[in-house]
Homo-oligomer: A and B are copies of this chain.
């Protein structure tokens, strides 16, 4: 669809989600029960028994989808209003796929302290916090501090949702090309939120030969400019200590996972890889390399984040189930073991993967239940 048609479709509905009453409010008796005086009894009960709040309120099933607009899709720092359509779209998917009541919240601040304070302040209303499109490296600290501060599950989906679906896709892509997933030489393009978390989760699963690249080049021991998470990645990745640029890492690689931005790769890159290359080009909305170009260059299995190509390796397959499971079971922290279990559960939904089908379709209702079960 062209841009004008897309804008017209959005303008027609105004917002893609709305609120809806779950109780009847048509008689005075309804008002007396579900508003005043009835609500006073519930308020007093929860004042005395705050631990029961989820049983009597929206906190039971609600998630805030929060962004500061600092790293929206592959579009960059486009601020809260640029971020709002994405958060609203995630809230829509939360409801339609996971029956989670999510509300989009975009912030007028990009200061980590302010962000942590703000989310801590509004947390009592929600059963979970889905952080979205916060830029690295601030996103790591923001998520860590919120997980420590809050008694509800907090997940930065760009990190963990992405890592989970990439691992699921990679397990099945390796099957398609007849290679052992743990022995794959994997190159991750991008050391932002998604790249770092994906490297960590693949490593936790047992993939040993991972090389991560950032704009400067390969993350390798010779670099003197690495701090924070990139420094941590040195311990988990690049065991052969390859130095240089993307091309140096791609030489003979089995899989490349693009988690960076539009057009960062071309056919020449793919041709450097080992035979039967696996190419995940996940930048949204425009991939690192378009699928037809990757295919022409010899890639055997190709995935993107988009709905209009085969193999949609999108965290929309993950986040509804993660929060569905966490809300249902009262899970407070999403652990690395849960993430591994979720990835395996998604991969298992496609027992006989093919080049055009390594992950389940986003429309398959079994996905949410499988992920939720893994979290529980």
Contact = CB atoms under 8 A, between A and B. Distances in A.
Contact of A57 (B56, B88, B285): B88
A125 B105 CA distance: 5
A146 to B, nearest CB: 12
Contacts of A125: 80, 84, 87, 103-106
A300 interface: no
A79 B284 contact: no
B32 A307 contact: yes
B21 A95 contact: yes
Contacts of A104: 58, 125
A32 to B, nearest CB: 4
Interface string A76-113: 00111111111111111111100001111111110000
Copies of this chain held together in the complex:
2
A232 B16 CA distance: 46
A58 B17 contact: yes
A86 B73 CA distance: 37
A307 B35 contact: yes
Given A40-B285, A82-B44, A120-B108, A102 B14 contact: no
Interface string A339-376: 00000000000000000000001110000000000000
Given A1-B33, A13-B22, A78 B44 contact: yes
A81 B47 contact: yes
Interface stretch (A59-67, A180-188, A219-227, A238-246): A59-67
Interface string A192-215: 000000000000000000000000
Given A19-B103, A78-B44, A89 B50 contact: no
B6 A42 contact: yes
Interface residues of A, number: 104
Given A35-B90, A53-B81, A56-B85, 18 more contacts: A9-B33, A14-B61, A16-B21, A16-B23, A19-B103, A34-B92, A37-B306, A40-B286, A43-B82, A43-B85, A44-B75, A46-B81, A46-B84, A47-B72, A47-B79, A107-B122, A108-B124, A109-B121
Interface of A: 1, 3, 6-7, 9-11, 13-23, 25-29, 31-47, 50, 53, 55-62, 72-75, 78-96, 101-109, 114-115, 117-118, 120-125, 284-286, 305-308, 314, 316, 361-363
